[in-house]
Structure 1
Amino acid sequence: MSSGPSSVSSVGFDAWREAISSAFVPLIASPESPVASFRGALDSTTLGDVQLSEVIGDRSRVRRSPAMIRSADPGVVKVGLQLSGHSTVHQDGRCAVLTPGDLAVYDTSVEYDLDLADSFDMLVAVVPRAALRVADRELTDATARTIGTAAGVGSLLRPLMLSLRAGAAGAGSGVAASLVEDAVADLVSALIRSSAPIQALGAGETILLSARTFIEANLDDPGLSPAVVAAHHHVSVRYLQKLFAYDGLSVATFIRQRRLDRCRRDLADPAQRHRSIGAVSASHGLVDASHFSRLFRQTYGLSPRQFREVNGLADV
């Protein structure tokens, strides 16, 4: 078996099974080798709302059952990077065979099986579904597919995950964690979009992707609205709303969420502490300071001023 994280001692199967269910989501685990000889280890860190875990163990099988999903569904997506050994991810009627260097995406809200064929070392990023800018259909089309890391988005995500494993302690809180969280969520979103088969993206999905990109590029425009986005794409507002409904969001809600996300990031950034709260919100298209303050509190449970204080930044 690969040597575990230097700061974590290997444990027996029962302790390992409890550890992975506690760190991730409730899981059914069974060893494929004698229980008495099984050794495993788990090392986890959090970066904002993103969790990064290195999982090591001997031959085993891990399952996420429908009953477990019904009892506990935190709404997170996993991205596994095989470091050593071999494994197979089964989900949505597909299977992804992973060799060292390969990635796979799997959704904890849908049942899956993970067959760990031999002693293994896997790095797993756990990202909130709400942080990913992908439609439900895109996620379903991208799960349980073998994703290489020699080129494309995989070649960007792999070194990021490895560097975070090596130096995560320096990005565990505050603005660093927030920026890292954004970077991981953006790359995982891009990975999901790029992994779906081309034929899976019909005209509607293509417009949806383009509309999201257009919104991201124009969040600073106070006049950005569903009508503006629809006109840019030569479709009706009603049709655009129908496309966004795949994610359970309206166009206006998506715009508002992305603006608030940008404001939250800047308000936690020490480099932005000289800017007033009103200047930060206006730079992302939210020009009414009192309205922004209400939205921010409703979304994050703190006023913008309190959020800055929690992050160790005095209000300007």
Structure 2
Amino acid sequence: MLSEAVFRSGDLPAQDRLAALDELWANDAHPMRVLSDTPERFRATVRMLDLGAVNVVGLAVSPCEVLRTPELIRQADPELCSVIVPLNGRLVVSQAGRDRALGGNELVLYDSSQPFRIRFSGDGGATRLVRAHIPRALLG
């Protein structure tokens, strides 16, 4: 089954943008939290596409952090392998005591069953990326 959803922070008042995306992702099947040092300037566009069991997201986001904590993992863990490919901007993925800085057209894998932190720097603008969640059970 194919389904698509779009979140545009620009559709909301500035003071509600960060909280709206945080709530959307905190209540997802793969719960995460979104934090920003400048919530009044936070902007994001998220295009979510479900291709059966695989979820693909196109994201453009201002500087922020996305966290998946042990508490969120206990809340729900769909056991996903995730691939992130930044299209522009910079990000750092931290998991299992390792940090991986990425620029355009590099990729990183991370595991939904382990805590992680993703820091989006934006380099003066939005960081744009594509991310795919793939159930580990499909990988064999």
The 1:55/1:18 distance shift into structure 2, 3 A limit, reads farther
Pair member with larger Rg: 1
Give the CA deviation at 1:21.
Answer: 3.5
CA distance in 1, matches of 2:105, 2:8: 25
Question: Any conservation in 2 of the 1:88–1:97 contact (CA below 8 Å)?
Answer: yes
CA distance in 1, matches of 2:137, 2:90: 30
Give the CA deviation at 1:115.
Answer: 0.9
Question: Any conservation in 2 of the 1:73–1:108 contact (CA below 8 Å)?
Answer: yes
- What is the aligned-residue RMSD (CA, Å)? 1.7
Aligned to 1:129: 136
1:100 match: secondary structure = coil
Question: Any conservation in 1 of the 2:21–2:34 contact (CA below 8 Å)?
Answer: no
State the Cα deviation string for residues 68-97 of structure 1 (Å, max 9, x = none). 111111111110010111000011221111
State the Cα deviation string for residues 173-211 of structure 1 (Å, max 9, x = none). xxxxxxxxxxxxxxxxxxxxxxxxxxxxxxxxxxxxxxx
Question: Any conservation in 1 of the 2:47–2:57 contact (CA below 8 Å)?
Answer: yes
Deviating beyond 6 angstroms after TM superposition, the runs of 4 or more aligned structure 1 residues are none
Decide which of 41, 54, 66 is 2:70's aligned counterpart: 66
Aligned to 1:47: 51
The 1:105/1:24 distance shift into structure 2, 3 A limit, reads farther
The 1:71/1:8 distance shift into structure 2, 3 A limit, reads closer
- Does 2:34 align with 1:29? yes
2:9 match: secondary structure = coil
CA distance in 2, matches of 1:102, 1:22: 29
Question: Any conservation in 2 of the 1:8–1:42 contact (CA below 8 Å)?
Answer: yes
- Does 2:117 align with 1:113? yes
Give the CA deviation at 1:60.
Answer: 0.5
Structure with more helix by fraction: 1
Question: Any conservation in 1 of the 2:91–2:118 contact (CA below 8 Å)?
Answer: yes
Question: Any conservation in 2 of the 1:84–1:100 contact (CA below 8 Å)?
Answer: yes
5+ residue gaps, structure 2 = 1-5, 11-16
Aligned to 2:89: 85
Q: Number of aligned residue pairs: give it.
A: 126
1:95 match: secondary structure = strand
The 1:67/1:8 distance shift into structure 2, 3 A limit, reads closer
Mapping of 1:183-222 within 5 angstroms?
A: none
CA distance in 1, matches of 2:130, 2:138: 20
Identity %, equivalent residues: 27
Give the CA deviation at 1:19.
Answer: 2.8
Residue 48 of structure 1 aligns to which amino acid in structure 2?
A: G
Aligned to 1:10: 9
Mapping of 1:256-271 within 5 angstroms?
A: none
Normalising by structure 1, report the TM-score: 0.38
Give the CA deviation at 1:8.
Answer: 5.4
5+ residue gaps, structure 1 = 1-6, 134-316
1:26 match: secondary structure = coil
CA distance in 2, matches of 1:125, 1:56: 15
